[in-house]
Structure 1
Amino acid sequence: MSDAQILVDAHHHVWNLDVRPQPWLDEPGHEPLRRNFSSHALRSAATRPIAGRRLTSTVVVQCITSVPETRDLLALADSDPLVGAVVGWADLASPAIGDVLDDLRTGSAGRYLRAVRHIVQGESDPHWLGRPDVERGLRAVGERGLGYDLLIRSHQFPQAIRLAERLPGLPLVLDHAGKPPIARQDLADWERGVRRLAAHPQVRCKVSGLVTEADHEKWTVDDIRPVWEVLLAAFGPDRLMFGSDWPVCVLAGGWNRWAATVEELLAGCSAAETEAVLAGTASTFYRLDPTRSKEGTPCC
């Protein structure tokens, strides 16, 4: 399969509620998500191509603060060729963080651990990412050649920026573009934070999770476009990567509607820029093997 056919979904989730509960789904409005979602369900959902590309590889991302969940995700990657990388979780503040990461990376499944993430958006401490114990843990992540997914909201940009300043060698990717408050149509503070963070060359950004920050029922591509234009100007296409945030995106239209929106946003981009956003940036950051997914055959 040529590079022009590759499409990477750099951010999705799976869960089996019979095996591992997801307490966050108890929040009001999450009723459509209170069922099991597997990688096979993703195959069924992701039927629309983007710029002629059909889904060929994905990055599955942790949902809960659980090492056992991370082991489940690694086993999935080891068994399902669609899943090319795992963003897992480990307690960054633990003195044993290095040992935990080393243990997760053992065995055939361990090679798919390419980054870790913590639910920083849920931390009340405005300096959580700068705590000495957390910074020690993040240094352990970087020393093992792993990246770090930043899950923050607009008011948490200052601590993310300080992290990028203190650890310039740690590869960072901003999940969901820092969750811009699209529904409120008040992007000024978010834009300032994005531009300051993007000034650090080790930072990438996922074009994902935007529709659930907009009005779930009424959003249009025109609501998303101002965010896209800021991201494109701040990061450039070579540091942006497409992600669906499936199945969370089901709350606001689903995988195929988001795919159609991304295709429309990319309309003014060159072939090389489109390649970067839809495949190249994610493949490089997460060190994906382009030959692995179904022996190079699109999944759907």
Structure 2
Amino acid sequence: MPVIDAHQHFWDPATGHYPWLKGSFDPIARPFGPADLAPELVREGIDGTVLVQTWNNLGETWDYIGVAAATPFVAGVVGWVDLTDPSIKPTLTALKASPNGRWLVGIRHLVQDEADPNWLLREDVRRGLATVAEAGLVYDLVIKPPQLPAALRTVADFPHLRFVLDHIAKPDIKAGAFAPWAELVRQFEPHRDHVWCKLSGMITEADWQNWTPQILKPYVDEVLQIFGPDRCMYGSDWPVCLVAGRYAQVIDALRKCLEHHDTTSKEQIFGRSAVEAYRLPSLYEGPL
């Protein structure tokens, strides 16, 4: 089973819109591309990655599937389309039918940045989600705890759409806000037949200078209790993670959190879950 990093990004501040790349994020306010990530993957034995959208822009999606076609380690792309656009169906059809369309495996919108915590419940958004399901793609949920109730209703209302919960829904690890987050995330358990969760993004929700694997472990344990190893996957969130730790530190922290799990569970989390959830081209051999 290949080892998969299910969540990484490329960007160039000169061509994309990243208003958050300032202040404490200044160290990563520069271009990041395949040549920057490749050595990290080789060092850590990573065979492939899922390249995930960084801003709500269709052009990036077209660019990303081209990058995937030209980059041996990119195994799939989670791109962006406007869920509220009445023309979403022909847009997805064009993307999938394009020469590089096979690399598009999922769709994501930066729901975490929407002022309305119930944005996912809008009728135009729901029509878009239905179209994503019809296209056979995954929908990645990038949300924060205030948006969890809307996300829970959404996964309940779309049982035929595969969802991936990014960054364990971004609990405030630095503040130790475990219980309110856990109470909500536990409500995903009845829907784990079509919902996966990424063990990713945790170090940037913790104290950047003082986090340890031991601080992350209760969150990892809780997610595994809710979803099970067969619905959890590793993601580095590179290069966002670099503000709080090196790539090696991110993956080593998760390895430490999983020390007492068996080999089968680790293989699932570090590879098989991503292959199955995203049906990664050239890797997935299960039923469509």
TM class by shorter chain equals over 0.9
**Structure 2 residue 252 is matched with structure 1 residue 257:** no
CA contact (8 A) 2:214 2:257 kept: no
- Which of 20, 24, 28 is residue 24 of structure 1 equivalent to? 20
**Counterpart residue number, 2:28:** 33
CA contact (8 A) 1:48 1:260 kept: no
Distance 1:24 1:198 in 2: 33
Superposed CA deviations along residues 189-226 of structure 1, whole A, max 9, x for unmatched, are: 11011110232021100000000000000001111011
CA contact (8 A) 1:15 1:38 kept: yes
Give the deviation of 1:290 after TM superposition.
Answer: 5.4
CA contact (8 A) 1:175 1:205 kept: yes
TM normalised by structure 2 equals 0.95
The gaps in structure 1 that reach 5 residues or longer are 293-300
Distance 1:210 1:171 in 2: 23
Q: Which has the higher contact order (CA 8 A, sep 6+)?
A: 1
**Counterpart residue number, 1:202:** 194
Identical aligned residues as a percent: 39
Give the deviation of 1:155 after TM superposition.
Answer: 1.2
Superposed CA deviations along residues 71-108 of structure 1, whole A, max 9, x for unmatched, are: 11100001111001000001101111111111111222
Give the deviation of 1:129 after TM superposition.
Answer: 0.5
SS of alignment partner, residue 199 of structure 1: helix
The gaps in structure 2 that reach 5 residues or longer are none
Distance 1:284 1:128 in 2: 28
TM normalised by structure 1 equals 0.91
Superposed CA deviations along residues 18-74 of structure 1, whole A, max 9, x for unmatched, are: 433433313x2110111110112111234543xxxx110000000001000111110
- Which of 52, 59, 81 is residue 68 of structure 1 equivalent to? 59
**Counterpart residue number, 1:9:** 5
Superposed CA deviations along residues 115-149 of structure 1, whole A, max 9, x for unmatched, are: 00011111111221011100000000000100100
**Counterpart residue number, 2:278:** 286
Distance 1:23 1:90 in 2: 20
Distance 2:194 2:186 in 1: 14
Tell me the amino acid that sits aligned with residue 283 of structure 1. Answer: V
**Structure 2 residue 84 is matched with structure 1 residue 93:** yes
- Which of 164, 173, 180 is residue 171 of structure 2 equivalent to? 180
